[in-house]
Structure 1
Amino acid sequence: MNGSSPVRAASRLGATISFPDHPEFRPNLTPAELFTLGSFGGGYFHPIHSRVTGLDYANEWKEFPSTWWAEMQGGPERWVAQPKYNVKMNRYRVDCGAKLSKSDTFGLDYWESKDWIVAQDPYGWVQWYCRFYMGRRSEDDERQISRWAGVAGVNGRFRSQLVGKIMAARASFDDETVSPVVRQVLQHWAYQLTEEDFVEGRAARIGKLTPAVEPAATAKTVKKRASSDSSNSPDLVPKRKPKKAKE
């Protein structure tokens, strides 16, 4: 089934991408940008044997438009199909994501162990996103969009975590020295923190941390309250001196 074409708010990196048939899904990196910036150690589409399907896969990147790879110096073989994980290919020069073992350098074994991988997209979420972006719709869309929201949506844990770390460091939203690992994770989920999103996230966090305070009462208001409440408030009723106990 084919879905609606993606619509971008502006023709610039980091502008929100929306899908009319799934308005709840709002990444801000296209698949081409996600890869061109440097992700998954340059080998997301490396040759694999899928434990989910029992089949071998290679050159899966060839399914997508050649324009996606046009700006990659060295071509897709260097940026998306390296057989070994190369951390220097990552945008923030850091490794990230859970791994099942030292040999699970790309994390696929871990993803499969968590039942996050389904047969239609044996490489995982990014492969799903590439196909969704190109118009494919499937029964797995709701689950995958929900996973994205939990990581990089407005209340996503990694997006919120990054905002909190920036606030704690009193840094600017684009200070790459603040939590490069979380930034790399978010990039793998087709999201890059923008100034607008940072301001919104900061306001939300401040609102949660600051209790509501009633406006200061005027002396006139206090006097009026004291008069009307004297029969009810134990703090305003004159206290009687306790009787002296008999010895």
Structure 2
Amino acid sequence: MTSYEAQRLENIRRNQALIKELGITRAEEKPKRPAPKKRKLSHDSARPVRVSARIASAPAKPSYNEDALIKEGASVRAVSRKRASNTKSEAATITVKDTGSPPPDLDEIRAGWTAWKPVAAPPTRDENGTFHFESHPTFLPNKSPAEMLAEGAFGGSYYRRLYSKALKTAIEDDWKELPDDWLKDLNIEKYLTSPQYDPEVNKFKVKCGQSIEEWEANGWIAHDYDVRGWFQWYIRFWLGRRCDDDDRQVGRWDRCVGRNGRWRRMLLKKYIQAGVKTVADEGVDEEEVSPVMHQTCHHWAWEVRQDVLDEAWQHGL
């Protein structure tokens, strides 16, 4: 051991002896502060959710159910606030409450279904097959009611016997108001009054949409005018009736298959994605383009025509 180390140890012993003699003790170290407890959130606590601007601005995924984008609650998919507001405006337009007893004006309502007289001229049809109605220039279907029935629509069950919970009465035989020339070559039991929905009857051999009972439950039926819904309205509108429900029904058609209608755009997008540039006279190959979307549009009196497809390929959607 060097002299320096020996001197250092001696100093340490001397200092320790002095400290002991003076009664000096080392101060205890302060205990470490415990980590704060995490606050437990109850099940009812609202948890903020961060969503990127890209996700928040993305459109909600579509649904194929009739009016499902208008009544978004019927879909299990996420929806945007804008489309949810459309739900309220459409579904709440006409609602008949079940009061537990038949409405006192049931006879008057029934009479109103057939008491109307035609006040408008039949539509004209242009070279592309689109119909034009003078009273509603933006309403541009390209399938007539007679064509829809003859080709196959609504699973052959549109005019089946129906019980209306809202009116508490059975509806049947109202198909008899259809023009005779629409019915002369039509199998009534197969194409109009089948008690069961048969997809094979439909033009594209698939099932789509909801039942009339579901439409009624969701408030989409204007009972004073058309107890079976949109297609019955279209038939009577075609035949010249005009009523206070026209603008609502035309608006629904426009949102579905009008120029910017959601189902029309979705179907045209499928054509482009599949690389299909030609539409056959009697429709398209079911294996190439969605038959469900085709049948849905067909139920709204519209189908893809070559001029529309050409425009979609040329200018996009």
TM-score, structure 2 normalization? 0.58
Report if the CA contact (8 A) 1:160-1:201 is conserved.
Answer: no
Report if the CA contact (8 A) 1:17-1:26 is conserved.
Answer: yes
Equivalent in 160, 179, 192 of residue 290 of structure 2: 179
Tell me which residue corresponds to 1:66: 180
The alignment status of 1:18 with 2:127, answered yes or no, reads no
Equivalent in 82, 87, 112 of residue 216 of structure 2: 112
d(CA) in 2 for partners of 1:54, 1:173: 49
Number of equivalences: 193
Equivalent in 308, 312, 317 of residue 197 of structure 1: 308
Aligned counterparts, 1:47-66, within 5 A: 47-66=161-180
Q: How far is 1:173 from its partner?
A: 4.3
Task: Report the more deviating stretch, 133-142 or 48-57.
Answer: 48-57
Aligned counterparts, 1:96-175, within 5 A: 96-97=208-209, 99=210, 107-119=211-223, 120-174=225-279, 175=284
Amino acid at match of 2:189: E
d(CA) in 1 for partners of 2:313, 2:234: 28
Q: SS in structure 2 opposite 1:84?
A: coil
Q: How far is 1:62 from its partner?
A: 0.7
The alignment status of 1:33 with 2:150, answered yes or no, reads no
Q: How far is 1:7 from its partner?
A: 1.1
Query: Structure 1 unaligned runs (5+)?
Result: 100-106, 207-247
The alignment status of 1:6 with 2:123, answered yes or no, reads yes
Report if the CA contact (8 A) 2:153-2:299 is conserved.
Answer: yes
Q: How far is 1:3 from its partner?
A: 2.2
Structure showing greater radius of gyration is 2
d(CA) in 1 for partners of 2:254, 2:165: 27
Q: How far is 1:113 from its partner?
A: 2.4
Report if the CA contact (8 A) 1:15-1:28 is conserved.
Answer: yes
Report if the CA contact (8 A) 1:17-1:27 is conserved.
Answer: yes
d(CA) in 2 for partners of 1:173, 1:179: 15
Report if the CA contact (8 A) 1:151-1:157 is conserved.
Answer: yes
Q: Deviations over 1:165-217 (max 9, x none)?
A: 010010134333210000000110011110101122333426xxxxxxxxxxx
d(CA) in 2 for partners of 1:202, 1:182: 19
Query: Structure 2 unaligned runs (5+)?
Result: 1-116
Q: Deviations over 1:110-138 (max 9, x none)?
A: 21122111112111100000000000000
% of aligned pairs identical? 35
